[in-house]
Structures are given as C-alpha cells and as structure tokens.
Amino acid sequence: MKDLLKQRLNRLAQQNHRELMVISGEQDWCLRTVNALLPCLHEEQGLRLGLWLGKGAPDTVPAIQAGKATSWLGRERQFVVFNAWSGFDVDAFGAISGVVKGGGVMFLLVPVLDQWSLLEDPEHRRITVYPENENRVTGRYIQRLAGLLAKSEHCSLIQQNKTPVWQALPNPDIETETRDSCGYCQTQEQALAVEAIKKVATGHRRRPLVLTADRGRGKSAALGIAAAQLLSHGLNRIVVTGPSLASTEQVFQHADECLGNDSLSPGTFSRGTFSRGRVQWQDKSVQFMAPDEIVGHPVDCDLMLVDEAAALPVPLLESLLRQQSRIVFSSTIHGYEGTGRGFAIRFRKKLDAIAPKWRALHIKQAIRWADHDPLEQLVFSSLLLNARPAEDHQVEGATAEQCEWVRFDRDQLMHDEPMVAQAFGLLVLAHYRTRPFDLRHFLDGPNIEVYGLLYQGCLTGTVLAAREGAINASMQEPVWLGQRRVRGHLIPQSLSNHAGIPEAIRQKGLRILRIAVHPAVQRNGLGADMLNRLAQSASDKGFDYLGTSFGATSGLLSFWQNSGYLPVRTGLQREAASGCYSLMMLQALSEAGRELLGEARSRFYDNLLLQLPESLKVMDTELVRQLFNGAGNFISADLSERDWQDIASFSHGQRLFESCLPAIRKLLLNGLVYPDSCSNSCSNSYEQALQVLTMKVLQQQSWSSLAQHEGLAGKKQVLARLRSCVGMLETALKH
C-alpha cells in the first residue's frame, strides 16, 4: 500500500489536486494504518508539514483540538489527519480541509461506516437539549455522510478486512493554470482583482466593488495586496471590517508581507500589532474596526474593505455603503464561512438603489489547488455548501393556496437528498450566517421540527423551529435567580431570568429559528401563510405560544408585527457582527400563553423606558418607534390641562426644555403609542419630528449629538427645532 500511495502522491503533485483517504474500522486499526502511511508523506519534507486533529497523534506530528481549526486559516500543510473517533466536528472538517495544499492528502479516521451513526459521538453534546441526554441525539447526519463516503467518486476508501477502493485520479494531461508575473499575485484573475480594488480608491467616487470567489481563490489576499500597494502610493488610512478580527487575518498578513518586502520601508506588522488589528507603515495604516463600532461612529478613511460580507446582515452593509464613498465588499460564495449567494441576492437591490454604478468581479481560478479538486468537491457535497433551492421556473407563479403544508419526517427526509438540498439551500439564502454545523443540527437536533410548503413537488418555503419550555417545576427558582441554566430553551429562560417571570419556564413554546421563502415567489404572502399554518398546527398540539428571536431591523420587525407577534424583550448590547440589538417576540396560542404575553409586555415597556437613555441610547429611532406600536395598554401618558399648558408654553414661548420635559414626554409617548390618532397629519416632516423628539426625550442624546444629526450649529438651533417638533405633534394630537 505504501508504494501505491507514493505513486498517487506523485500523480496528485503533477495535477496539483488533493485527495481524501477515508480509513474506516476499529479505532486502534485506524491509528495503526494511518501511522504506517505517514512516512510516505515526509521522506523529503518532514512530518512537521502535517497536522493532526483529535486524539492519538504521534509525537512527530503537530496536534490541535478541533475547536482550533479556524486558527489555521491561510496556512498550508502537506497532509492533515482528522480523527473522527474524537468526534466529528463538522465546522472543523470544513475549515481544516482548506489547509491541505495542492498535491496533499487528508486522512479521515472513522468507525465502520454502517456502524458509525450508531456510536456515541462527543459532538452530540453540542446538539443535546434539556432534558434529553446525548444518547437521544440521532445519527442522521453521520448516516448521510457515511453513505456519501461509501459511494463517492471523490475519495479513496480503506476499510478494515476489505479491499481498498481507490479514487480514480484525473487525467494527467491538464493545462497548468496561468500565473501572474508580478511578485505577489499568483494568478491573472487575482491580479485583476487587485487592480479593481485599487480603482475603487483612486477612480470615481460611489462606485463600489463586490468581489466574490469560492474558497482558496486568494480573495482576501487580493484585499491585503491592494491595501499595501495603495498605502505605498499615497493613501493614508484604510479600514478593514468583517464579522470578526480573526476572519480578516489574511488581509493583514498579505498587507504586511507586501509592505515588509518593500525595499524603501519595511512594514511593522507583528503578532503584537495584529492582535489590535493594525498594520502600520510609516505614518499610514491598515486598521480593523468592528462593524457595530463603525455604524455607531462613522469613520473617516480613504478606503473601506469589508471582508466576508456575506456573514453580515444586509441592513448593516447598507449602512456602510451609505457612509463610505469608497468601499469594497468581499465574500466567499462557498465555504465554511457561509455562503455568499444569499448575500448577492439580498444586497443587489440595495446596491442598485444607492450606488447604481457598482461593479461585480468573481475569481474562479483556485490558487492553492487546481480546478475540479476532488477534496473540494467532496467537502461541498458532504457539507451541502453547494445546496440550492429549486430552480426559479419550477416555482414561479405559486400561491399559498396552491401549496401543500407539510411537516417533514426527518428519518425520511435524510434519504431524499434533493429535498434536503432544497430545504437547506433556502435556509442558507435567508440567513446571513450559516455554518456546516447548522446542517447537522437541522437533521439531528432532538427538539427540531421542519415544515415546508410544496408546489408540484418543489419547496417554495420552509420553517425551522425548536420545541422549548415545559421545564420541570423544580428548576423554576434556580433558573429565575440565574443560578442554573439548562441547554436550549432560549425564550422561557430569558422570560424567567431577564423579564422576571419565574413561571415562564413551565409553558410550552415553539421557537422559530429560521423562516425562508424561495426568492422567485417572495412578496406573495407565503411567509405569512406559513406562520398562520404553523400557529394552527402548534395550537392543535397544545403549545402555549410561538416565539422568535432575531437581530432587529425595521423591516424584520414590521414582518413579525404584521404576522401578529409582539415584542417582549430586547438585548442590551448590539451584536458585534450584525450591529443589531436582539429582539424577542411572542404570539400567544392558549389562555396561559396570553397571560404570559400580557405580563411580559408590561414588564418589557417598564424596562424599555428606563433602558432607552442608557443601554439603548443608540438604537435606531425608527426601530424604537415601531416597538411602541400597540403599547397603549402598558403605558400611561394621559395629558392633563396643565400638561397642555406646558406644551404650548414651550412650543410657542421660550420656557426651558427641562421645565416642560414631563409634559413633552407624555405628548411624545401618545404620538408613538397611538400613531393612528394623527394619521391625517403624518408627513415626512411629522415623521422627522417624532424621530428628533425620540432621540432627545426618550434616548436623552446630547445637544451636540442632536446638532450633528440634524446638521445644526449648536444647542440654540436644536432648541428651535425641538419647539417646532413639539408644536407639530401638539397640533396633530389635538385634532
């Protein structure tokens, strides 16, 4: 077998392709087999060019835990051993596959394939929810994966007591990729991308670039190379943002490499400076900033680079697009980082409206391995990174009345690969952040339910929901006091601990994790129809409420409010990646659910009024206004005769704002809580008046902040604006 492996390695090196070798059998046999093969890979280069994930690594091979896989992004190894006996961390499998360089091998050590799904997997603890134990987690995902590995043409299968089945290697007569002649770019396509990025910074304003590529195409490297060249040619400050500092590491590494090799002045990048997200060159810099930090405090820079933009929600990307006149959005189309297809579909409309002269560029050619790489193709299929919904023409024209509502049996669904791909493809398109682990949770989560709308056998919409609540009464006090937290059950535990309703954990709820409608039939009422059908189904099963929790935007809040859901809790800090506050909403299904919803709503508004000038000071004012819709039963803001006098004396006289604030606050709350009472007066100027008053009265923003927001010189001008706004609201509510 060793001689055969050496021959295969030579062929792989010639083709710049990579291979997955699945070693399946008893654990000790798997370890002995792979250790016998490893010397073939290091005769010339040494075992240090390998990496081992999981237990059982020999002393000669560097070993890491699966949770550290993402820290190896951008590095290369001749071989990787993934010991799935230590647990099959699906995210780590996707991430570490990109570490294997062209001509290399990935070894996957697994139990006997037809027994693998029956064995306990340490990864089950990530899926287990109270009160289930790990043995209750199904093996559907592993059963599906084992079946794919057994039949795949893109891997070799070495099984205990069986004849090895070797993957057919590609024809050796393939054309070598064209490489760019410059010192940094490795392909002509990457060089074109660098030039396109530089043109955003040096050409006409308001012409953003959207750069996409599959993984391993050098997209992030192109950002770093372009940033370095722009600094050396006159730009002073480039800001890089993305879902996390770690996700942008490649940008900084390549920027530093280019600047460090500059004979005029080397870069000063090091691990110490990178931990703060900064590459300094002379008095110029490439600097990382978190998205929420930028949205809250717009920055002045020569160019902004948004890496892995698909992992950020569209409203946040829209804010960046409006703020920056020179900006590049970069996204992985396929990869463990998430899919960029949903990003492209959702963001295109915003680009067309805000910057119609935007440009798209896609890098096809791989850098670290050749096209049609067998390992890449196998990873795509096993993790469903290439999952796609039904074709547009198959569902166009579908209405809710024509669709069949189904609750999928996941034991049957796992054997229907096209339907799994359609369902997961829709979920990926609808959400800004998807990981390979989500597919395993989709198939194996013990509290998960999957629903869909079928039109002529094709999926037009799907809902993923989790059963929550019905927690044992003995847990009530420790959960309420924050002394205990059980796995899963987000909404009941939050209502108990954060909202202070201990009994909430005992009710049965169904939390909607994701809802997705096929892009070809969106805005046809299918989303609302699915929620109505789900409510009826959940009510019939004895659930007390339906719930949801999401990063709040004005559009999403409107959708859920129009579907009968009401806010019960908001997070107190914006998520770093999304720049949004989380929002929890409920729809009652039973009498007990209605009582819970009523109390939760009352406590929500008590807290909201106190949180707005503190934790929620920078919450979007449109979102604040929407949260007050229908809150009349929970907010007392009756205006007395004296209050009306105070309001008039401020709006038409010169009384102090602070002296009249209690009456102005009541006036504003009436305008927010009862928007229909002044519908005849609602105009753009009226909407702007509500916005200004919300910022000053409820969120208590400073005079200088308000002046900056309104484009006014100072406090005197802001006061005049407030008097006008109060007068406008006074007139509207009196009539």
Q: pLDDT tens-digit profile of 32-41?
A: 999 999 988 7
Q: Which amino acid is at 670?
A: N
More confident position, 701 or 243: 701
Burial 410-428 (b: 16+ CB within 10 A, else e): beebbeeeebbbbbbbbbb
Given phi > 0 = left and psi -120 to 50 = alpha, else beta, which region is 584?
beta
Q: What confidence tens digit (pLDDT) does each residue in 212-246 have?
A: 888 788 899 999 999 999 999 999 999 999 888 87
Is the predicted pLDDT of residue 270 greater than 60, yes or no? no
Contact between 470 and 476 under an 8 Å Cβ cutoff? The reply is no
Task: Provide the pLDDT confidence category of residue 74 given band limits of 50, 70 and 90.
Answer: low
Q: 465 among the known binding-site residues?
A: no
How would residue 514 be classed by pLDDT, with cut points 50, 70 and 90? very high
Least confident segment among 50-54, 178-182, 469-473, 676-680: 178-182
Taking each helix axis as running N to C, give the angle between helix 703-710 and helix 715-734, from 0 to 180 degrees, rounded to the nearest 10: 80
Domains of the chain by start residue, with CATH: 2-159 (3.40.50.11040), 188-363 (3.40.50.300), 392-615 (3.40.630.30), 641-734 (no CATH)
Q: Is 251 annotated as a binding residue?
A: no
Tell me what pLDDT residue 273 has.
43
In this prediction, residue 334 has a pLDDT band, given cuts at 50, 70 and 90, of: low
- Model confidence pLDDT, tens digit, residues 587-603: 999 999 999 999 999 99
Query: Cα dist. 162→23, 110, 594, 708 in Å?
Result: 11, 15, 62, 74
Note the pLDDT of residue 279: 87
Longest dimension (CA), the chain: 97
- Is residue 312 predicted with pLDDT exceeding 90? no
For residue 184, name the pLDDT band (cuts at 50, 70, 90): confident
- Residue range 83-95: average pLDDT? 94
Confidence (pLDDT) at 215: 78
Amino acid at 66: A
Classify each residue of 593-608 as buried b or exposed e, where b means 16 or more C-beta atoms within 10 Å of its C-beta.
beebbebbbbbbbebb
Cβ atoms of 526 and 405 within 8 Å: the answer is no
- Higher-pLDDT residue of 347 and 317 is 317
Distance CA 715, CA 175 (A): 69
Average pLDDT across the chain, whole number: 89
Q: For residue 272, is pLDDT > 50?
A: no
Structure tokens at 427: 């979920």
pLDDT value at position 434? 77
Task: Report whether 517 belongs to an annotated binding site.
Answer: yes
Return the pLDDT at 60: 87
- What confidence score (pLDDT) does residue 543 get? 98
516 among annotated binding-site residues: yes
Q: Is 344 annotated as a binding residue?
A: no
